[in-house]
Amino acid sequence: MLTSARTIAKDRFGSSLKPMLIMLASVGLVFAGLYGFNAFRSIMIGRFLASMANPPQTVSVTTAKLEEWRPMLAAIGTFRAVSGADLALEASGVVEKILFKSGEDVAAGQILLELRKDTDNARLESLKATAELNEINLRRDQAQLKLKAVSQATVDSDLANLRSAKAEVAQQEAVIAQKTLRAPFAGRLGIRSVDIGQYLSAGATVVTLQAIDALYLDFVLPQQNLNGLDVGQGVTASVDAYSGQTFAGKITAINSKVDQGSRNVQIRATFPNPDRKLRPGMFASVSIAVGKPEQLVTVPQTAIVHAPYGASVFLAQKNASAGEAGNGESGGLVARQSFVQLGATRGDEIAVIEGLKAGEVVVTAGQMKLRNDVPLKISNTPQPPVNPDPKPIDR
């Protein structure tokens, strides 16, 4: 009886234990699945955040170069002729002859224009006749004086009359000469502004004449630059008319005083102009090399990051912690900030005195999104321009 009761109890316990074990196993599997899912989710979120923390940044780069650097002074000047004048006549009258063509080369003393001078020539002939008569009277009275037929006072009066008549002839010849325009020096004429038959007032410009085989270039520089300037020093100039071409000249004069208002000093350079490309009045950009050449590390000015705490550049360097594989998208390059001491500028270039070595790869565009250890993706299209002597372009 007792055995039957135990058997019945065992059967009942066994039949209830099995579902319980299955339930516990199911709950355990559910909790294990939840834990695994949470762990997997945490790992994936961490990886995602890690990848988002330093995504590769696209930048442009260049290599720092060691270049010969010589301090340059820049100025703006204007060309003017060594000899130049607006030709005009001292007398007024009607234009009778024009003996030149606009734009032609003329020799010194060449006749260019004549005014009508019929009346003046007639008066000259009258004055010459009077002078000849006075000369005859003088010779006659001098012969009579030897015979004591006239007094010395008469001879003296005849001599004075002759001199006066000759002076009037010379004066009239000068008046006639004033109605003839001659080239005062050899050069090239401009465009004439008168026509035959036109009445021309005294002092009215007929044509401009410029000697352009050599030109002056006048410009000013601040007084602090006087220490590096001397007569005979080389100067280069460029003009908008000939893009990319430079012209060489030499300093021939430095003004003896400094302007009190601007504290600038005027400087004149002379430029040979055998091909006559340069013209008086042209605007020119002037460059003067001063001091001794130096070997300095140079980079584009766009590579410099300016901040209140100093200037710096971002270097593109290999990521040592990335191992052999590196970063597939960035090629294993990361950004490294380096503070630099800057020197002078030259166009789009700037000299770096300290903090950068020749041959190091420098970021030239895209620095605003960089910080240390950010992976880099190199794209040099487009590349920022680097011109040591840039010029504005009219569009």
176-216 pLDDT, tens digit per residue, is 988 999 999 999 999 999 999 999 999 899 999 999 899 99
Between the CA of residue 285 and those of 23, 278, 365, 389, what are the distances in Å?
Answer: 93, 13, 29, 10
pLDDT one-digit tens code per residue, 205-250: 999 999 989 999 999 999 988 887 889 889 999 998 888 889 999 9
Q: Residue 73: pLDDT band by 50, 70, 90 thresholds? A: confident
Whether pLDDT at 359 is above 70: yes
Enter the tokens of residue 361: 């790869």
Lowest pLDDT segment from 32-36, 147-151, 159-163: 32-36
Q: How far apart are CA 51 and CA 112, in angstroms?
A: 86
352 pairs with which residues across the strands?
297, 342
Write down the pLDDT at residue 33. 77
DSSP code of 330? T
Whole-number average pLDDT of the chain: 84
Q: How far apart are CA 37 and CA 291, in angstroms?
A: 73
Calculate the CA 165 to chain-centre distance.
64
Enter the tokens of residue 33: 């699945």
Mean pLDDT value of segment 84-89: 91
First to last CA, the chain: 117
Q: How far apart are CA 35 and CA 48, in angstroms?
A: 20
Listed residue (85, 116, 83, 121) closest to 98, CA to CA: 116
Write down the pLDDT at residue 70. 78
Neighbours of 335 (CB within 10 A): 24
Better pLDDT: 310 or 13: 310
